[in-house]
Amino acid sequence: MKHLLLTTVATLALAGAAQAQSTLNVSLNADLRTNDPGVNRDGNSDGLLMHILEGLVGARNDMSIAPMLAEKVDVSDDFKTFTFVLRDGLKFHNGASVTSAEFLWSWNRYMDPATQWSCRADFDGSRVVEVTSVETPDPKTVVMTIAEPSPVFLALLARPECGQTAILHPDSVDDSGKYQFPIGTGPFKWQEWRKGEYVQLEAFADYVSPSNEGTADGLVGNKDPLVGFLRYMVVPDGATVIAGIRSGAIHFGSIAAEQIDEFRDIPTLQLLNVPTGGHNILYFQTRNTPLDNVEIRRAIAEAIDLDQLVAAASNGTGTPNMSLIPVGSSWYSDIQAQRPAYDPESAKARLAAAGYKGEPITIKANRRGNVPSYPAAIVAQAMLQAVGINAQIEVLDFAIQTDQRREGLGQISSVSVTPRLDPSFTYTFFIGNKDDDPSRMWEDPRAIELMDRSYVETDPDKRQQIFDELHLLMMEEVPSVFIYNMVYNWLAPKSLTGMPVWESYPRLWNVALD
């Protein structure tokens, strides 16, 4: 293994030397699942594609929504009609001008069931919001109408996990309709994908940034490309990432929490600890034995000393949080701070009353270096075994673990989930009928009804009440154990300028190598 790692680092170093200095090499902990926005996606795909693709609106640093390709957005008094006026001078990466026609083409492709866009159900009425019409009265104007008022419609359009509902050029697909690669409007354009090795993007010379004050702001601030190329290098092993950064072959990479102490005082490197709104979770498959028994789930929650688990898994950087709402969110209340008490004796009593006989309960984990999947699983396993639960660990490739979770397989999965722009979106990721989507963990009709109400309630105080009620219900039913909001730890040379992170994503516009 040591020889393999050294060989990999040597290869990276040679690759780095061969690249022009204007190439920024970034490590990816796993290869892309896709380059089709919002289709078979994961966080790596979302983060890369946001450099290529843009939608009508996007998220600021504070998660509020602002125009992106739109110059302005007008909302009707009844909050059901949204009129977007495109900015002047917008170009696709193939040189074509951006018009409302390309938005309509993109929208129709997203809403075609054959595309398998993961966000289609959020707009077709299946999950409350229903887009009833999309009109393009002139080349600069898009008018979208929804059936009922929604406080989150613009945020729905802006989500990174939906590819920002980006405007694609029709040449992104071939004559037969098969998707090829993304032709968008972002600061970088698609160049090459060597699967399992790297993805390379090239700066878009004709890029026109949204109106800004000269600084990065979420996905809508100053977005000028300051390097000629971005090369995303697939390096799943954390030790190889560190060796690559030390050698200069990798300029920016995320490292595991247990590795950060050795880099706090190295003068040539900068260490960035970035809290995010994402979640680290022990994700339960609540239809599968024995986790279909709520008393077993409650026993697991009581068996886990959350403070100790978080301190160990995050190397002291995380804050325990059993809520689906991030600690720093304006929606996080005193009720959201409630969590089951650590009580191993009560856990043992619950297990006995539930008739638990030592059946194995498997925690699926992956060893990606920059997330606490495996460390959290190890600590949780010890705590569960201490109360008599026969906890086992199965280590899987990240892609296989993700596929199995989406298919509803297994019992517990130690996973990290990227941040969402609104609490409703986070709840939607977890709540729903497993007959329709096996990946959903929680299918209580009361939870589904509350989630649906959160999409149409425009009064902020009433929305807060909905989220608080959802949290109390979750504490009662324990559909999973939420551990803490993700903290990503990034390494870069001191010569890297700009702020190269937004939430859990590398954000590599307005970033340069000195």
Here the CATH number for the domain that contains residue 161 is 3.40.190.10
Domain count, the chain: 2
Helix (H) or strand (E) holding 75: strand 70-75
Q: Are residues 301 and 399 in the same domain?
A: yes
Are 123 and 37 contained in the same domain? yes
Q: pLDDT at position 190, please?
A: 98
* DSSP state letters, 271-291: EEEEEEEEEEEEEE-TTSTTT
**C-alpha span between 425 and 127 (Å, rounded):** 11
Instruction: Provide the token pair at 120.
Output: 């289609």
**Residue matched to tokens 């009593």:** 349
Cα separation, 146 vs 165, whole angstroms: 16
60 and 165 fall within a common domain: yes
Tens-level pLDDT at each residue, the chain (514 residues): 333 333 444 444 444 433 445 999 999 988 999 999 999 998 899 999 999 999 999 998 878 899 999 999 999 988 899 999 999 999 999 999 999 999 999 999 999 999 999 999 999 998 778 999 999 999 999 999 999 988 889 999 999 999 999 999 999 999 999 999 999 999 999 999 999 999 999 999 999 998 888 888 999 999 999 999 999 999 988 889 889 998 999 999 988 888 888 887 888 999 888 888 889 999 999 999 999 999 999 999 999 999 999 999 998 889 999 999 999 888 999 999 999 999 999 999 999 999 999 999 999 999 887 789 999 999 999 999 999 999 999 999 988 999 999 999 999 999 998 888 889 989 988 999 999 899 998 999 999 999 989 988 888 999 999 999 999 999 999 999 999 998 888 999 999 999 999 888 899 999 998 8
Same domain assignment for residues 195 and 326: no
Are 168 and 290 within one domain? no
DSSP state of 98: P
Using alpha carbons only, give the angle 284, 467, 79 rounded to the nearest 5 degrees: 125
Return d(Cα 204, Cα 186) in angstroms, integer.
7
Q: Answer yes or no: is 352 within a domain.
A: yes
Return all residues near 25 (Cβ < 8 A) that are at least 6 apart: 12, 15, 16, 19, 231, 233, 244, 249, 250, 251, 252
Q: Could you tell me which of 368, 256, 317 has the C-alpha nearest to residue 485?
A: 317
Report residue 322 as tokens: 């059993």
Q: Among candidates 74, 53, 57, which has minimal Cα distance to 65? A: 57
* Within-domain flag for 24: no
For 358, the domain range is 275-486
Q: How many CB atoms are closer than 10 A to CB 307? A: 12
Nearest to 86 by CA among 136, 26, 47, 29: 136
Q: Is residue 132 part of a domain?
A: yes
pTM of the predicted protein model: 0.77
Note whether 71 and 120 are same-domain residues.
Answer: yes
CA distance 103 to 214: 27
Are 369 and 462 in the same domain?
yes
Residue 60 lies in a domain: yes
- 256 domain residue, yes or no: no
400 and 335 in a common domain? yes
In one-letter notation, the amino acid at residue 236 is P
Contact 342, 299 (CB under 8 A): no
What is the C-alpha radius of gyration for the chain, rounded to an integer number of angstroms?
Answer: 23
Q: What φ, ψ does residue 93 adopt, rounded to 5°?
A: -65, -20
CATH for 401: 3.10.105.10
The answer as to whether 252 is a domain residue is no
255-to-7, 380, 425, 450 alpha-carbon distances in Å: 20, 21, 28, 38
**310 in the same domain as 205:** no
Query: Which of 183, 202, 234 is where one domain is finished?
Result: 234
Instruction: Provide DSSP, 207-250.
Output: --PPS-SSS--TTTS-----SSEEEEEE---HHHHHHHHHHTS-
Pairing of strands 141-146, 81-86: antiparallel
76 in any annotated domain = yes
DSSP alpha helix (H) spans, 266-422 = 294-303, 306-314, 344-353, 373-386, 398-406
Copy the structure tokens of residue 90: 């917008």
470, 331: one domain = yes
Residue 442 lies in a domain: yes
Cα 506 from Cα 216, distance rounded (Å): 12
Tell me: do 190 and 305 sit in the same domain. Answer: no
Q: What is the dihedral of CA 166, 28, 247, 374, to 10 degrees?
A: 150
Structural domain ending residue among the three candidates 234, 257, 288: 234
Alpha-carbon distances of 64 from 217, 330, 462, rounded to whole Å: 11, 11, 19
Which residue in the block uniquely carries the two structure tokens 């104007």?
141
The Cα 287–Cα 293 span in angstroms is 9
> What's the pLDDT score for residue 329?
86
Cα–Cα distance between 64 and 158 in angstroms, integer?
10
Same domain, residue pair 316 and 216: no
